[in-house]
Amino acid sequence: MLKSYPAIFHNDETGGFWVEFPEFGGGTQGEDLEEAMKNARQMLESILASYLDEGMDLPQPSDIRKISAKDGFVTMIQADPSPYLRNNKAIRKNVTVPEWLVRLADRDQVNYSEVLTKALEKKLQL
């Protein structure tokens, strides 16, 4: 479940960066660009997981073209909150599928759990 949000990277006086997400407030930092990017991704994953765990709707990402940074730059950060979710335990579900579709899927060695998970995430816009 990948989500992307714009992040504003500001230069700081030590040569590092501090980062903020317009949709969420707060921020993180890094001594260099690589560390700031890594910390921004981890922060975004944690925030998104909190929203999902609480049953809250995720905000729509801001239009990156409408955001500017006088002392840095703006970029999209892509994050996968799945590893941070509290209820990430797999649950067994029985489903009914047309026989002809099962034959085709079995022939192609389809992983039913993976396909259903991805389809549900797409349907729920996660």
In the predicted model, what is the mean pLDDT of residues 108-122?
87
Q: Where are the alpha helices (DSSP H) in the chain?
A: 33-53, 99-107, 112-123
Domain boundary at 69, 84, 99, which? 84
Per-residue pLDDT, 118: 84
Q: What is the CATH number of the domain that holds 14?
A: 3.30.160.250
Q: Report d(CA 98, CA 22) in Å as an integer.
A: 46
Q: Report d(CA 35, CA 22) in Å as an integer.
A: 20
pLDDT at 88 over 80: no
Torsion of CA 100, 101, 102, 107, to 10 degrees: 90
Based on the fold, state whether residues 66 and 49 are members of the same structural domain. yes
**Number of domains into which the chain is organized:** 2
Residue 104's domain comprises: 90-126
Is pLDDT larger for residue 116 or for residue 92? 116
Per-residue pLDDT, 126: 62
DSSP code at position 62: P
3-state secondary structure of 9: strand
3-state secondary structure of 22: coil
